């Protein structure tokens, strides 16, 4: 389950701006400029808002859930949050430091709270597991790849020094700049 903090509407931008122009025909030019500037800033800032992922969706964080399948096809970005929901005292969540600890279920102490929210603060591979009894070895663990909006993260198992994984080859902030440029162009078209 993904809970978006920002919403998007898939409509034709030219039609939207024509509608805004008709609705605001009585506005002064300064008010119209302020409205369009606010819309442009909202479009540029929208990627900064993360999403909340409830780990395991409705099943939550418990035994007999395939967390590999749950994570399959999801894109986790810096700023997103993982929400682990479970019965307090039955499970816990521990962030593991590397793939070896994940594979071997090497877990230090973790305190069970019943609901842990983890903000994904940096790009790269992340590993989580339940440290109660043998829950990790029974599959109660999650591995994800967090990507940055500034540069794509290297693929798992790839060499981050290879030319194909250079941050310079990523789209970095290109999409934000493209949206800002498109908004400015449309602003000029509407004002003209």
pLDDT at 108: 79
Strand order in the sheet with 51-54: 2-4, 51-54, 81-85, 115-119
- Residue 175: phi and psi, rounded to 5, are -65, -40
Cα distances from 87 to residues 25, 66, 92, in angstroms, run 57, 18, 9
Give 163's DSSP letter: G
Q: Helices 13-23 & 29-45, crossing angle to 10 degrees?
A: 150
Give 88's DSSP letter: B
pTM value is: 0.56
| DSSP secondary structure, 115-128, as one string | EEEEE--S-EEEEE
- Residue 2: phi and psi, rounded to 5, are -115, 130
Please write the tens of the pLDDT for every residue from 132-162. Answer: 989 999 999 999 999 987 654 455 554 444 3
Secondary structure class of 67 (helix, strand, coil): helix
Mean pLDDT value of segment 104-110: 83
pLDDT at 180: 63
Burial of 61 by CB count in 10 Å (0-12 exposed, 13-18 middle, 19+ buried)?
buried
Does pLDDT of 87 surpass 80? yes
pLDDT category at 118 given cuts 50, 70, 90 is very high
Cα distances from 31 to residues 38, 92, 103, in angstroms, run 11, 53, 59
Q: Which residue has the tokens 């994800």?
A: 144
Mean pLDDT value of segment 50-64: 93
Angle at 31 (CA atoms; ends 27, 37), nearest 5 degrees? 130
């Amino acid at each position: 389950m993904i809970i978006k903090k920002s919403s998007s509407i898939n409509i034709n931008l030219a039609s939207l701006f024509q509608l805004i122009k008709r609705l605001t025909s009585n506005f002064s030019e300064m008010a119209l400029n302020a409205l369009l500037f606010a819309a442009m800033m909202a479009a540029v800032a929208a990627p900064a808002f993360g999403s909340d992922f409830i780990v395991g969706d409705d099943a939550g964080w418990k035994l007999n859930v395939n967390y590999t399948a749950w994570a399959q096809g999801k894109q986790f970005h810096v700023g997103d949050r993982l929400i682990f929901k479970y019965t307090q005292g039955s499970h816990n969540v521990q962030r593991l430091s590397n793939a070896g600890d994940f594979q071997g279920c090497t877990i230090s102490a973790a305190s069970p709270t019943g609901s842990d929210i983890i903000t994904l603060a940096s790009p790269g591979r992340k590993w989580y597991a339940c440290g109660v009894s043998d829950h990790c070895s029974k599959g109660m663990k999650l591995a994800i790849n967090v990507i940055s909006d500034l540069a794509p993260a290297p693929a798992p198992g790839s060499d981050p020094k290879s030319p194909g994984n250079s941050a310079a080859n990523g789209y970095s902030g290109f999409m934000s700049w493209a949206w800002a440029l498109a908004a400015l162009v449309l602003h000029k078209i509407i004002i003209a």
